[in-house]
């Protein structure tokens, strides 16, 4: 054992104070420069040998090994696509030459960057939700006598630039898909103001770097145009129908025909529920670590059997995570690990329109 620890010490070039040797599971020790418990992954202060010594999440001696379901993570090039690489896969197997994909940050890497840098995410003391009873997509009974959202400190949240510019967009759309949509100059000014706000955030900067690295954009100008095309340029939801939709309207505002479609944003849900337009009827499924809820509800009397959304994330986070999946895994499941939790985002493109647009995007829980 001490031979192994000594070799790790030599390999990392750390002092003993920077090692997890003999410290696995120990509480916070402010006298140390790094930590060795499960919270260190959340706070980003794990010692460099934490995964090797305290968990089995290491690629040491496993680079290019076949799938091993007895291990919590994998160490071959397929792990990049499946989002289950060990934390040291890049440094040990890619940086060391043991099998090199074309990029150094996969979708799990990006997802964690987005999550960790979402400084505009609503804090736990700024809102409260009441999930109440579980239901099913086929149920006809209401399992929630009260609203989903109990309160939100709007004065703290909605004054932030990415929120205030997001709110300005919500009344630019007519939910009914039977109505032709258009966007006048004033509405494009509001769209550009929203883009200016979100593109200035760390979340969208991480997305930009990821998309450049993966060859989806080349510079800031092309990046902005890709976001516009995916989310704001209008399209017809059917090949013979009117110009009646956009990615932003469908996913973040919601649309209606004989029922509700899209509607995968917590802010819009909160606002419409506050107005009395939404009747929350219970949750179908939840992902508690990531604060995702799939709700059954009615909106202006029309039903949504299951609508899933992140709760409390910033507008830029929604745009970023859905954009990454729409571009890298269009029309398919986009699976990754974020904040230690496995998640799948489902996206679809508009098949009858050239290029990529967001037809829909949502957490598939």
State the CATH number of the domain containing residue 1. Answer: 4.10.410.20
Cα(316)–Cα(205) distance, rounded to whole angstroms? 10
For residues 247 and 226, is the Cβ–Cβ distance under 8 A? no
Residue numbers of the domain that contains 90: 65-101
In which element (H, E) is residue 255 found?
A: strand 255-256
173's CB contacts (< 8 A; 6+ apart) are 181, 246, 248, 249, 253
Which SS3 state, helix, strand or coil, does residue 325 take?
A: helix
Q: Is residue 37 part of a domain?
A: yes
Cα(279)–Cα(276) distance, rounded to whole angstroms? 7
Q: Is residue 167 part of a domain?
A: yes
The answer on 158 and 69 residing in a single domain is no
Q: Is residue 119 part of a domain?
A: no
The answer on 309 and 186 residing in a single domain is yes
Q: How many domains does the chain have?
A: 3
The answer on 220 and 147 residing in a single domain is yes
Task: Kindly list the catalytic residues.
Answer: 250, 264, 304
φ, ψ of residue 271 in degrees (nearest 5):
-65, -45
Query: How does pLDDT run along the chain (365 residues), one tens digit per residue?
Result: 444 434 444 444 333 346 777 788 888 888 888 888 877 766 677 777 776 677 767 777 778 777 877 787 888 777 776 777 777 777 677 654 444 444 578 999 999 999 999 999 999 999 999 999 999 999 999 999 999 999 999 999 999 999 999 999 999 999 999 999 999 999 999 999 999 999 999 999 999 999 999 999 999 999 999 999 999 999 999 999 999 999 999 999 999 999 999 999 999 999 999 999 999 999 999 999 999 999 999 999 999 999 999 999 999 999 999 999 999 999 999 999 999 999 999 999 999 998 899 999 999 99
The answer on 174 and 198 residing in a single domain is yes
Alpha helices in 102-184 (DSSP H): 107-116, 154-157, 161-167
For residues 228 and 272, is the Cβ–Cβ distance under 8 A? no
The answer on 69 and 51 residing in a single domain is no
The answer on 250 and 206 residing in a single domain is yes
Query: How distant is the alpha carbon of residue 339 from its chain centre?
Result: 10
Question: Angle between the 315-328 and 185-199 helix axes, to the nearest 10 degrees?
Answer: 90
Structure tokens at 101: 């994909």
The answer on 243 and 143 residing in a single domain is yes
Q: Is residue 155 part of a domain?
A: yes
């Amino acid at each position: 054992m001490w031979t192994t620890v000594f070799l790790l010490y030599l390999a990392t070039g750390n002092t003993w104070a920077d090692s997890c040797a003999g410290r696995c599971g120990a509480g916070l020790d402010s006298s140390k420069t790094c930590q060795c418990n499960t919270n260190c992954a959340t706070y980003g202060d794990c010692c460099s040998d934490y995964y090797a010594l305290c968990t089995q999440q290491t690629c040491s001696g496993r680079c290019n090994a076949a799938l091993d379901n007895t291990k919590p993570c994998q160490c071959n090039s397929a792990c990049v696509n499946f989002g289950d690489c060990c934390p040291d896969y890049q440094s040990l197997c890619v940086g060391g030459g043991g099998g090199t994909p074309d990029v150094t940050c996969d979708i799990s890497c990006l997802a964690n960057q987005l999550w960790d840098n979402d400084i505009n995410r609503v804090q736990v003391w700024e809102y409260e939700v009441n999930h109440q009873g579980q239901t099913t997509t086929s149920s006809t009974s209401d399992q929630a006598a009260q609203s989903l959202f109990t309160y939100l400190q709007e004065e703290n949240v909605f004054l932030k630039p990415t929120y205030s510019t997001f709110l300005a967009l919500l009344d630019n759309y007519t939910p009914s898909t039977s109505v032709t949509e258009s966007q006048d100059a004033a509405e494009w000014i509001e769209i550009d103001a929203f883009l200016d706000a979100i593109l200035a955030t760390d979340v969208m900067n991480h997305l930009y770097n990821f998309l450049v690295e993966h060859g989806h954009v080349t510079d800031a100008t092309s990046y902005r145009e890709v976001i516009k095309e995916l989310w704001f340029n209008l399209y017809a939801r059917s090949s013979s129908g009117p110009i009646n939709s956009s990615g932003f309207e469908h996913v973040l505002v919601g649309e209606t025909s004989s029922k509700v479609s899209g509607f995968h944003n917590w802010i819009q849900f909160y606002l419409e529920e506050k107005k009395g337009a939404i009747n929350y009827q219970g949750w179908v499924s939840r992902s508690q670590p990531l604060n995702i809820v799939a709700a059954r509800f009615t909106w202006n009397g029309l039903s949504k059997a299951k609508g899933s959304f992140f709760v409390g994330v910033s507008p830029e986070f929604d745009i970023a995570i859905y954009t990454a999946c729409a571009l890298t895994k269009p029309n398919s499941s986009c699976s990754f690990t974020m904040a230690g939790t496995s998640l799948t985002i489902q996206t679809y493109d508009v098949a009858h329109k050239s290029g990529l647009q967001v037809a829909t995007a949502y957490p598939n829980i």
